[in-house]
């Protein structure tokens, strides 16, 4: 028996002809073609680097980023194989709502309010059971924008610190928390709470009052940890003893940390309500109403709430929450306390003043 070695022909057999290298058959691009090839290469590289944008007419749902993973979309009952667009903030949510015309949308409060004012929303087929405090002032019956999920902005703190649990926003300015406080990199949360502490309306846009609030805020921004990523990290690792956080930050910190140490409190000076609204765009038709009805099912609301570590607005969904969310201080909040929360919808002038203040403070970021 003759055993052939790999890649070696037997004696006496013809060796195969050596193939002509492919590169030898390719022609060099002409001088006229080279600029065109360079332009095509640059366009391909740009397409790879730029983030994907939702495409007009191909979007089923417009959702916050935490709900757009394929497995989450499937758990929410959204059709498989259809595009789900994700927004990062109110400005982007409103922009995508206009550009992509989704069948159904979940919007932050400011985007929902502006969409309602612009006549972009259709009436919902189902009546709302959500708390009145979470509804938009311009839509008190929640016929066009229905509260779907919600959280609140207040004080997050390290439950293992020897200091007493916080009760007031004033404590952020106390020497005991110097160098051990944390702030979100978000003027739409930091400025309204500072305005409340000073006794003004949370949506105040008067230049003089915003200027005073900005100067007061500047006393703590230099030493505070600002814009941590993820936002709940200072609570999970104990690097901040106190700070401005959302209630979901405390839940996520405890889910991530080996030693649960994060706690959330509603300050007596006031707190901010952070609802997400379910809406059907005006030209969505029957598909939008069908998807909205599916998303309003208590089980689906509880699933979405669990993914974002927030609460459902429908009381019927509260019994379906996991234990850590059911134990949240917001889950057992009396209606009279919930009514003290502020749903902040700033005017364009107020928003511009807040952003200018925050930019001028230039807080130190990690």
50: in domain: no
**Neighbouring C-alpha atoms within 13 Å toward the C-beta of 29:** 8
DSSP letter at 257 equals: -
Same domain, 283 and 137: yes
Query: What is the rounded CA–CA span in Å between residue 358 and residue 347?
Result: 17
Q: For the chain, how many structural domains are there in total?
A: 2
- The pLDDT assigned to 14 comes to 43
Same domain, 244 and 309: no
10: in domain: no
Same domain, 97 and 162: no
Q: How many CB atoms lie within 10 A of CB 144?
A: 21
Give Cα 104 to chain centroid, integer Å.
17
Same domain, 141 and 278: yes
Same domain, 224 and 257: yes
354: in domain: yes
230: in domain: yes
Same domain, 145 and 156: no
Which CATH number is 206's domain given? 3.40.190.10
Burial status of residue 209 (CB atoms within 10 A of its CB: 0-12, 13-18, 19 or more): middle
Query: What is the rounded CA–CA span in Å between residue 162 and residue 158?
Result: 9
Same domain, 90 and 173: no
Question: Which residue range(s) make up the domain with 265?
Answer: 152-271+344-361
78: in domain: yes
Same domain, 220 and 355: yes
Give Cα 185 to chain centroid, integer Å.
13
Q: At 22, is the secondary structure helix, strand, or coil?
A: helix
Query: What is the rounded CA–CA span in Å between residue 333 and residue 345?
Result: 23
- The pLDDT assigned to 83 comes to 87
The string of DSSP letters for 299-363 reads HHHHHHHHHHT-EESSGGGGGGS-HHHHTSTTTT--HHHHTTSB-----HHHHHHHHHHHHHH--
Residue for token pair 């050596």:
18
Give Cα 32 to chain centroid, integer Å.
49
Burial status of residue 1 (CB atoms within 10 A of its CB: 0-12, 13-18, 19 or more): exposed
pLDDT in single tens digits along all 366 residues of the chain: 222 334 444 344 344 444 444 444 445 555 555 555 555 565 555 544 444 444 444 578 999 999 999 999 999 999 887 789 999 999 999 999 999 889 999 999 999 999 999 999 999 988 778 999 999 999 999 999 999 999 999 999 988 877 778 999 999 999 988 888 999 999 999 999 999 999 999 999 999 999 999 999 999 988 888 988 889 999 888 888 999 999 999 999 999 987 788 999 999 999 999 999 999 999 898 999 999 999 999 999 999 999 999 999 999 999 999 999 999 999 989 989 999 999 999 999 999 999 999 999 976 555
190: in domain: yes
123: in domain: yes
Looking only at the bridges linking them, the beta strands covering 104-108 and 59-64 are: parallel
Same domain, 348 and 217: yes
Same domain, 168 and 282: no
Same domain, 173 and 235: yes
Rounded to two decimals, the pTM is 0.83
Asked if 63 and 84 touch (Cβ cutoff 8 Å), the reply is yes
Which tokens hold the place of 67?
A: 């709900």
Same domain, 241 and 252: yes
178: in domain: yes
Query: What is the rounded CA–CA span in Å between residue 273 and residue 341?
Result: 6
In the chain the first and final C-alpha atoms are separated, in Å, by: 72
């Amino acid at each position: 028996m003759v055993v052939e070695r790999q890649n070696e022909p037997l004696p006496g057999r013809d060796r195969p002809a050596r193939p002509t290298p492919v590169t030898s058959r390719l022609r060099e691009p002409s001088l006229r073609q080279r600029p065109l090839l360079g332009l095509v290469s640059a366009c391909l590289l740009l397409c790879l680097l730029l983030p994907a944008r939702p495409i007009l007419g191909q979007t089923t749902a417009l959702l916050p980023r935490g709900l757009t993973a394929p497995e989450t979309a499937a758990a929410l009952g959204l059709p498989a194989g259809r595009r789900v667009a994700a927004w990062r903030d109110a400005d982007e949510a409103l922009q995508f709502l206009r550009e992509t015309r989704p069948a159904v949308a979940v919007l932050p409060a400011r985007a929902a309010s502006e969409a309602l004012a612009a006549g972009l929303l259709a009436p919902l087929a189902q009546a709302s059971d959500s708390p009145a405090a979470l509804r938009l002032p311009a839509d008190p019956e929640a016929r066009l924008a229905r509260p779907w999920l919600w959280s609140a902005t207040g004080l997050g703190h390290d439950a293992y610190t020897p200091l007493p649990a916080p009760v007031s926003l004033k404590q952020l300015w106390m020497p005991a928390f110097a160098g051990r406080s944390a702030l979100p990199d978000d003027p739409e949360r930091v400025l309204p709470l500072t305005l409340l502490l000073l006794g003004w309306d949370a949506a105040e846009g008067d230049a003089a009052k915003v200027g005073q609030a900005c100067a007061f805020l500047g006393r703590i921004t230099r030493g505070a940890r600002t814009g941590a990523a993820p936002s709940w990290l200072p609570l999970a690792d104990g690097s901040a003893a106190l700070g401005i956080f959302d209630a979901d930050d405390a839940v996520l910190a405890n889910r991530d940390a080996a030693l649960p140490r994060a706690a959330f409190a509603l300050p007596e000076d006031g707190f901010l309500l952070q609802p997400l609204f379910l809406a059907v765009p005006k030209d969505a038709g029957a598909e939008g109403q069908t998807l909205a009805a599916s998303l309003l099912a208590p089980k689906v609301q509880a699933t979405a709430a669990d993914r974002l570590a927030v609460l459902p607005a429908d009381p019927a969904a509260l019994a379906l929450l996991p234990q850590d969310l059911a134990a949240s201080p917001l889950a057992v909040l009396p209606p009279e306390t919930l009514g003290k929360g502020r749903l902040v919808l700033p005017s364009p002038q107020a928003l511009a003043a807040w952003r200018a203040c925050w930019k001028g403070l230039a807080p130190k970021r990690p």
